[in-house]
């Protein structure tokens, strides 16, 4: 069978192969900065970013990027390979900084804006970031923690002038200058960003994403969604997530307007769609549930939307049926991808949305997939094993973590940890999620991270954290707790203990106290039994 995603003939997306036989786009930009610059030189006066009342053309965006790159390099001594942490919500500043850092060969470290202080400290220290650029409200979370982050030399704050002597206004980096642009051209195999992902040890690992990986995933998005210059996209997912990055980079590569929402709010999205008529939407299933369920949703307002990508969590068949009914002109696609694969590794064609609703689709261009058994042997059709992925989009490894790298990447294959099967037509199905991972509306939460925090509570003897079904978010976090003898504790006390120490979406929504945890003969906690316990 010819793969739906590779059968198209288009010189722009012609595929070649490197010396190791890895497929690559022949006419790809040389690095991430070049991706933006090519578009800015081609269509300088076209709209690039629209946020609140501000609109930047591609020429405006390039100028803004050049200024930040110039000042970081010339006045703050940033060198190729240096790490710069970004604690920025959706807006114009995040893409500006992302491209500026890439322009001078440095490495951006986007931090989830929902992280608590201790989590931010870990990721800044692990990456040894020397500069932090933060929104004002994010700065308030970290300004009193700077002594715990000794590698930071400079902090910049956006939105307004910070009332703190240890930070400088981000506007300092936007001052005009007369010199030519400063560029330290990165090789495509160089690290462009470090994205932290949750790990089974409870501490997030830094996935090293490359210029080639970002370029490949951006071009894949433009290719598989057949983006044209008259398209426009609405950014309703965080840019700092890999899903937001592939949408954002695909749009920049094509040269289409990107309408930006600071954070997802159902009524705001409906208003933006009605006003600006985007043709492409990307989100997790939960977002589309909220949109369709809103009393303000109107089919007529969404007629401009020609394609939807949902991913990050399984989509119920009822949601797909409702999208078909309420947005009949829209092609809907289920996508699957890991941060370690720069996102979007498989995609389900629209015509299969209800034919194969449980499938995550076919491999996208440049991606090879197979399912293997515990000995590494490739399995036949419909046999269940571990899904592994290979291609230019696979990361080279984890930042300063050779053990995790060796475990996850072998002979160029990324071991996803997901149990899957591939049918006779090449469609991939995930049959079980990664061990102990909770998928809450697309946010990946590893149980052990929450358990480690609970064990630090003075009254808790044992704790087990599982995901339980939720109609809107897919899963919610539930903690089963055994208290120490003689101790008394409430659900509220546990939740208050967790808030501020971990991101709010990781805090258990449900807590149940048990006399003991169920275990097998070997003493292992039976989480499947706990997951089946009714509320």
- pLDDT of 535: 34
In this structure, are residues 259 and 272 in contact, taking their beta carbons and an 8 Å threshold?
Answer: yes
- pLDDT of 168: 92
- E strand spans, 11-135: 15-17, 23-25, 47-51, 54-57, 83-87, 107-110, 131-134
Select from 77, 85, 193, 194 the least CA-distant residue to 129.
85
Q: pLDDT 10s digit of each residue in the chain, 535 long?
A: 456 776 555 789 999 999 999 999 999 999 999 999 999 999 999 999 999 989 999 999 999 999 999 999 999 999 999 999 999 999 999 999 999 999 999 999 999 998 888 889 999 999 999 999 999 999 999 999 999 999 999 999 997 665 656 899 999 999 998 888 898 999 999 999 999 986 544 678 999 999 999 999 999 999 999 999 999 999 999 999 999 999 999 999 999 999 999 999 999 999 999 999 999 999 988 889 889 989 999 999 999 999 999 986 667 788 899 999 999 999 999 999 999 999 999 999 999 999 998 899 999 999 999 999 989 999 999 998 999 999 999 999 999 999 999 999 999 999 998 889 999 999 999 886 656 678 888 887 878 789 889 988 999 988 999 999 888 888 999 999 999 889 999 999 999 999 999 999 999 999 999 999 887 555 567 887 887 643 3
Cα angle 317, 322, 323 (rounded to 5 degrees) comes to: 100
Query: Running DSSP on this structure, what letter comes out for residue 452?
Result: H
Backbone angles phi and psi of 311, in degrees to 5: -170, -170
Select from 370, 283, 394 the least CA-distant residue to 330.
283
CA distance 108 to 101: 6
CA distance 96 to 59: 12
3-state class of 451 per DSSP? helix
The full DSSP string for 231-268 is --EEE-S-TTSHHHHHHHHHHHHHT--EEE-SS--HHH
Domains of the chain: 57-186 (3.40.50.980), 437-531 (3.30.300.30)
């Amino acid at each position: 069978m010819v793969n739906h995603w590779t059968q198209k003939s288009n010189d722009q997306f012609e595929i070649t192969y490197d010396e190791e036989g890895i497929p690559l786009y022949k006419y790809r930009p040389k690095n991430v900065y070049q991706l933006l610059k090519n578009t800015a030189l081609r269509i300088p006066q076209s709209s690039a970013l629209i946020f609140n009342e501000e609109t930047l053309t591609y020429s405006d965006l390039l100028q803004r990027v050049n200024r930040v790159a110039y000042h970081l390099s010339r006045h703050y001594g940033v060198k190729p390979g240096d790490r710069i942490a970004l604690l920025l919500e959706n807006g114009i500043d995040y893409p500006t900084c992302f491209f500026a850092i890439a322009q001078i060969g440095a490495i951006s470290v986007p931090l989830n804006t929902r992280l608590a202080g201790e989590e931010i400290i870990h990721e800044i220290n692990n990456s040894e970031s020397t500069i932090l650029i933060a929104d004002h409200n994010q700065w308030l979370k970290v300004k009193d923690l700077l002594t715990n982050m000794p590698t930071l030399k400079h902090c910049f704050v956006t939105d307004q002038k910070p009332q703190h002597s240890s930070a400088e206004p981000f506007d300092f980096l936007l001052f005009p200058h007369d010199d030519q642009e400063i560029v330290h051209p990165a090789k495509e195999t160089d690290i462009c960003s470090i994205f932290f992902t949750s790990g089974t040890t409870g501490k997030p690992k830094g996935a090293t994403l490359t210029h080639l990986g970002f370029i490949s995933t951006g071009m894949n998005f433009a290719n598989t969604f057949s983006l044209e210059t008259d398209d426009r996209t609405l950014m309703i997912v965080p840019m700092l997530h890999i899903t937001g990055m592939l949408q954002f980079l695909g749009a920049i590569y094509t040269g289409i307007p990107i309408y930006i929402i600071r954070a997802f709010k159902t009524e705001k999205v409906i208003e933006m769609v009605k006003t600006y008529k985007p043709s492409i939407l990307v989100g997790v299933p939960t977002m589309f549930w909220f949109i369709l369920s809103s009393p303000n949703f109107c089919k007529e307002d969404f007629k401009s939307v020609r394609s939807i990508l949902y991913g990050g969590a399984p989509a119920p068949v009822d949601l797909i049926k409702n999208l078909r009914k309420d947005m009949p002109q829209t092609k809907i696609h289920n996508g699957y991808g890991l941060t370690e694969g720069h996102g979007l590794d498989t995609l389900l064609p629209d015509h299969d949305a209800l034919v194969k609703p449980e499938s995550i689709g076919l491999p996208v261009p440049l991606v090879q997939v197979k399912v293997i058994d515990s000995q590494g042997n490739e399995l036949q059709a419909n046999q269940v094993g571990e899904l592994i992925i290979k291609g230019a989009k696979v990361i080279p490894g984890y930042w300063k973590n050779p053990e995790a790298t060796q475990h996850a990447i072998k002979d160029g294959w990324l071991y996803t940890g997901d149990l899957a099967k591939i049918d006779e037509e090449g469609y991939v199905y995930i049959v079980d999620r990664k061990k102990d991972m909770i998928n809450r509306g697309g946010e990946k939460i590893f149980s052990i991270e929450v358990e480690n925090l609970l064990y630090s509570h003075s009254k808790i003897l044992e704790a087990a954290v599982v995901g339980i079904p939720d109609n809107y978010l897919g899963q919610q976090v539930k903690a089963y707790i055994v208290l120490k003898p003689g101790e008394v504790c409430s659900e509220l006390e546990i939740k208050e203990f967790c808030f501020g120490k971990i991101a709010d979406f990781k805090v258990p929504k449900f807590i149940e106290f048990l006399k003991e945890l169920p275990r097998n003969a070997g003493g292992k906690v039976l989480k499947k039994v706990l997951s089946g316990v009714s509320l």
